[in-house]
A and B are shown apart, each in its own frame.
Chain A
Amino acid sequence: MTAPPAPGFSLPFRVKLAMYVRLFALQGSWNYETLLGTGVGFVMEPALRYLPGGVDGPEYRAALARESRYFNAHPYLAGVAVGALTRAELDGVDPVRIERFRTALAGPLGSVGDRLVWASWLPFCSLVALCVYGAGGSPVQVVGTFLLLYNVGHFLLRAWALRIGLSRGLNVASALGNPVLRQGPHYIGSAAAVVAGLALPLALQRVVGPGRVLAGGIIIAALLGILLLARLHERAEGWRIALGVLAIFVLYSVLT
């Protein structure tokens, strides 16, 4: 049996790289039983090979089983947990403590990630792309702007999460107080509001087509609809209403 890694043992770069690449496939086996759990095991696996006995050792098997159980987090920030849990496993931390840590970390990583990425960064990048479209951008410019802007944030966030997890281990909780995570949604949201005001009329004008204007009727109908939808808040799904109204309009246009 090989000796356990010394405390503070640093994984080779190629192992960290393998974990980083696997992070992008974290949700490959996402399911309603274990959510991200099996994905966490999949991502940590290259590092767990450094446990005593390697892939045939009981430590490796026990750790892989433990880390493949139920877990939930935002996929981009799950690297914090993956890194921290990897550090804990390699340092030989008591499994009961690891289990408690997994439970404690899941909630914050989910809510912080949802606010930062899904509710701020993604709509902001969408609006910027719509703005480029409204300004007359070509398909390459619009799609390129969106993918480049979005993925700079995406790739960096995943890399930061894994790095901070691996370096801080079970002391990673303080990293969630990072100003980007705490204040980011507010600043990105504020910027998104300005970009929304800029992007929506420009993009819609281009959809309406050259030679036509956003007529008063369209603007009034849109504003009334937005007010109604805003009042309904969580009780109505806009896309379902869109589907229904569009179906009726298509039917009307075909039958008349």
Chain B
Amino acid sequence: MSLAQALPIALLGALLGLDVVSFPQAMISRPIVAATLAGAFIGYPQAGLLIGVVLELIALDTLPFGASRYPEWGSAGVVGGALFAAQPPGMPGALPASLLAALLTASVSGWSMVTLRRIIAGRLERTRDSIEAGSRDALFSLHLSGMTMDMLRAGLVTMVGMIIFSPLVRAIVAIWGSESAPSRAVVVVIAAIVAGGALWKVFHSIRRVVWLFLAGLLASTILLAMT
């Protein structure tokens, strides 16, 4: 993928990456949204949605509590959605390879967020006297530059992710040795385990939670049996 091809995807990644922490935290950066939008950019929103759903299930494990460090799903969703949507339909390795690329991007992007927040702290240290003197200009400069840098960070991560993973995923898909059904099954099992473990972690203290879950499970089983 050339720079020119990666640029529109990087712009989308920049906007969605900004949403994670800086502005407006409307959850347009959730993978179910980000990957679908990226898939739509490539021309296949259905493919983007499919990988977005898998990423969303995995992302349930990393809710952004307090000042905790977590993977950044905005850029990762864009990279995963764009990569998967760009593969020819029906290729068994497309989903696992694109998913792996998205998870690696999420990890690197999470690290880049921590680095950025340290850079902002460094800038704050240099302008502390002005801000302590009540300078509006110093405060605005710090705040707006923080947002601008965050957007650039997310855009850069997305662009680098696309440039590295685009040929890599294509190559992996071309030499993929596993059958289609087990390839999909491994992804489903991984997503189910992570989502189930995450939901248990969050909701286990709720009274009668197992019974409530089983009630939903019964309803879905009936629905699946009917179709």
Residue positions of A touching B, CB distance < 8 A: 24-25, 27-35, 38-39, 41-42, 45, 55, 60-65, 68, 72, 75-76, 110, 114, 118-119, 122-123, 125-126, 129-130, 133-134, 139, 142-143, 146-147, 150-151, 154, 186, 189-190, 192-209, 212, 214-215, 217-218, 221-223, 225-226, 228-230, 232-234, 236-239, 241-243, 245-247, 249-250, 252-256
Contacts and interface: CB of A to CB of B under 8 A. Distances in A.
Contacts of B97: 250
A152 B81 CA distance: 26
Nearest to A246: B100
The 8 A-B pairs of least Cβ separation, nearest first, read A197-B216, A61-B134, A229-B197, A225-B193, A226-B196, A24-B24, A193-B212, A238-B194
Interface string B169-202: 0001001111001011111111111111111111
29 contacts: A25-B143, A28-B144, A28-B146, A32-B117, A35-B67, A45-B139, A125-B27, A126-B30, A130-B32, A139-B40, A143-B37, A146-B27, A146-B30, A147-B28, A196-B216, A197-B217, A198-B223, A204-B191, A214-B224, A221-B189, A222-B189, A222-B193, A228-B193, A230-B197, A230-B201, A239-B58, A242-B193, A250-B96, A253-B176
Interface in B88-141: 93, 96-97, 99-100, 103-104, 106-107, 117-118, 120-121, 124-125, 131-136, 139-140
Given A133-B53, A255-B177, A30 B22 contact: yes
Contacts of A119: 63, 65, 202
A65 B138 CA distance: 11
Contacts of A147: 26-28, 33
A76 to B, nearest CB: 8
Nearest to A41: B139
Nearest to B194: A238
Given A122-B27, A218-B189, A246-B99, A208 B206 contact: no
Nearest to B24: A24
Task: Give the bracket for the number of chain B residues in contact with chain A.
Answer: 35 or more
B212 A194 contact: yes
Does more than half of chain A's interface fall in helix, strand or loop, or is it mixed?
Answer: helix
Contacts of A25: 22-24, 143, 147
Given A38-B124, A147-B28, A233 B201 contact: yes
Given A24-B25, A151-B27, A254-B177, A190 B191 contact: no
A208 B188 contact: yes
B219 interface: yes
B209 A190 contact: yes
Contacts of A255: 177
Given A25-B23, A28-B146, A65-B132, A192 B49 contact: no
A49 B189 CA distance: 57
A55 B177 CA distance: 68
B187 A29 contact: no
B64 interface: yes
B212 to A, nearest CB: 4
A28 B143 contact: yes
B62 interface: yes
Given A207-B184, A222-B188, A246-B103, 14 more contacts: A31-B121, A31-B146, A39-B143, A114-B66, A119-B202, A143-B49, A195-B216, A197-B219, A206-B53, A207-B187, A226-B196, A238-B193, A238-B198, A256-B178
B36 interface: yes
A142 to B, nearest CB: 6
A110 B30 CA distance: 21
